[in-house]
């Protein structure tokens, strides 16, 4: 069954309360963080806490963000996690495909796209054996010398290119974070934007964001009804040999039937989750 990653919640590895709290939250994945949310003095204790907590998250996918391999902690983080075995390792500050090669073992690597060089190298990074591309918009904007713009206008090109690179190589694609904690409608709009650009889900920073992301990144009841109608129409005997048919006053092609089947598969995968 396909992976469901509507909501990927960052949890600071140095925050025991948050590590505990996430065990009962309805996010599809937890991203236990050893990097930017953890201060240097706490890097080693956070690593130990995260390794000890890894198996506590039930059906949630558990990925751990290590420190960059160029940092003082990256190599030890990687060695510890190869023992502890999370479902995935998030590699920050990726610049080139060889960064992925350095982290790759038998645990899937999620490549953070958060540097200007990573954007230039998207095709090679996506083809390097990574499992997921995960946007790091805060770092990327800083590296670009850009600021936050309404509607993320200065990131549209990156959103498109990251999703295209991911799809071309069959990888997952997770959108970046939304920093305001008190703007539910702005958050919902940014989730919808990420979904419409093609992302599987969104990086989250607070439990209050989970429900909205889960809703926006799931097919709606109308989407599912429409998808079932399209699949059923192509299954009719008179339509079996046809590449395009008329349905409810518009043309529907076989590619739409394939997309509809994906919507149904995704809805089934979501329904099968018990969070």
Within 8-47, which residues bind ligand COA (CB under 6 A)?
9-12, 17-18, 21-22, 33, 36-37
Going by C-alpha positions, the residue among 204, 250, 212, 202 that lies closest to residue 230 is: 250
Q: Tell me whether residue 136 or residue 172 sits nearer to Mg ion (CB atom).
A: 136
Number of residues that bind ligand COA (CB under 6 A): 15
Within 191-210, which residues bind ligand COA (CB under 6 A)?
205-207
- Is position 263 an interface residue for ligand COA (rule: CB under 6 A)? no
* Strand partners for 5: none
- Is position 33 an interface residue for Mg ion (rule: CB under 5 A)? no
Q: Which of 13, 74, 136, 194 binds Mg ion (CB under 5 A)?
A: 136
Within 145-184, which residues bind ligand COA (CB under 6 A)?
177
How far does CA 112 lie from the centroid of its chain? 10
> Which residues are CB-contacts of 118 (< 8 A; sequence separation ≥ 6)?
94, 95, 96, 111, 112, 125
| CA 259-262-267 angle, 5° bins | 130
Q: Tell me whether residue 111 or residue 205 sits nearer to ligand COA (CB atom).
A: 205
As given in the structure block, the two tokens for residue 179 are 């920093």
- Is position 73 an interface residue for ligand COA (rule: CB under 6 A)? no
d(CA 82, CA 84): 6
Q: CA 68, 154, 197, 138 torsion: positive or negative?
A: positive
- Is position 100 an interface residue for ligand COA (rule: CB under 6 A)? no
- Scan for tokens 């396909």, then name that residue: 2
Q: Read off φ and ψ for residue 269, nearest 5 degrees.
A: -65, -40
Q: Tell me whether residue 122 or residue 218 sits nearer to Mg ion (CB atom).
A: 122
The item of Mg ion, ligand COA, none sharing an interface with residue 139, based on CB under 5 to 8 Å by kind, is Mg ion
* Strand partners for 10: 31
> Which residues are CB-contacts of 245 (< 8 A; sequence separation ≥ 6)?
233, 234, 239, 251, 252
The item of Mg ion, ligand COA, none sharing an interface with residue 177, based on CB under 5 to 8 Å by kind, is ligand COA
Instruction: Give the interface segment with Mg ion, choosing from 15-23, 44-52, 108-116, 216-224 (CB under 5 A).
Output: 108-116
Q: Tell me whether residue 86 or residue 219 sits nearer to ligand COA (CB atom).
A: 86
Instruction: Give the interface segment with Mg ion, choosing from 81-89, 106-114, 124-132, 192-200 (CB under 5 A).
Output: 106-114
The contact set with ligand COA (CB under 6 A) reads 9-12, 17-18, 21-22, 33, 36-37, 177, 205-207
């Amino acid at each position: 069954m396909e992976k469901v990653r509507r909501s990927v919640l960052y949890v600071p590895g140095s925050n025991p309360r948050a590590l505990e709290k996430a065990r009962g939250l309805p996010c599809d994945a937890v991203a236990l963080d050893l990097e930017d949310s953890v201060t240097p003095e706490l890097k080693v204790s956070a690593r130990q806490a995260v390794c000890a907590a890894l198996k506590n998250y039930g059906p949630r996918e558990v990925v751990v963000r290590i420190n960059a391999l160029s940092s003082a902690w990256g190599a030890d983080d990687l060695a510890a996690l190869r023992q502890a075995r999370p479902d995935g390792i998030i590699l920050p500050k990726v610049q080139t495909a060889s960064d992925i090669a350095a982290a790759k073992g038998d645990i899937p690597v999620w490549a953070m796209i958060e540097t200007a060089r990573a954007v230039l190298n998207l095709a090679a990074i996506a083809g390097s054996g990574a499992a997921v591309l995960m946007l790091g918009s805060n770092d990327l904007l800083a590296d670009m010398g850009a600021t936050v713009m309404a509607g993320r206008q200065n990131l549209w090109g990156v959103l498109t290119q990251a999703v295209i690179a991911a799809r071309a190589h069959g990888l997952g694609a997770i959108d970046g974070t939304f920093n305001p904690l008190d703007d539910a409608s702005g958050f919902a709009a940014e989730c919808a934007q990420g979904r419409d650009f093609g992302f599987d889900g969104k990086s989250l920073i607070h439990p209050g964001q989970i429900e909205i992301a889960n809703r926006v990144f799931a097919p709606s009841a109308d989407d599912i009804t429409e998808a079932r109608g399209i699949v059923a129409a192509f299954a009719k005997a008179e339509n079996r040999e046809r590449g395009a048919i008329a349905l409810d006053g518009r043309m529907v092609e076989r590619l739409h039937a394939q997309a509809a089947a994906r919507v149904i598969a995704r809805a089934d995968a979501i329904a099968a989750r018990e969070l």
